[in-house]
Amino acid sequence: MKKPARTVCPEAEIVCLCNEVTRGEIEKAIRSGCDTLNKIYDRTQAGVGPCGGSCRKFIGPMLDQYLQTGEFPNCAIRKKTGRTK
């Protein structure tokens, strides 16, 4: 039996709800050389909002996988919130 195709997250998916930072913005920061979480936070403002960084648990795996494979995860980072930037 064939496996269903994996869902690719849209670039407009909001990863950091506090500062409305999208998946695409985080991926762009990583591709342009942000190779630590602090560099990503500084570049995008993701992870430094008033909630205290609840989105960091999503950003870390994105960075780790990119550094290990050169690709980003093809899975939902957050459940759909209806919010897009």
Nearer CB in complex with ligand FES: 17/37: 17
Nearer CB in complex with ligand FES: 31/83: 83
Contact by Cβ (8 Å): 17, 83: yes
Contact by Cβ (8 Å): 22, 9: no
Q: Give me the residues that bind ligand FES (CB under 6 A), please.
A: 16-18, 46-49, 51, 53-55
Smallest CA-to-CA distance from 27 within 82, 67, 79 is with 67
> Closest approach of Cβ 3 to ligand FES, in Å?
32
Nearer CB in complex with ligand FES: 53/73: 53
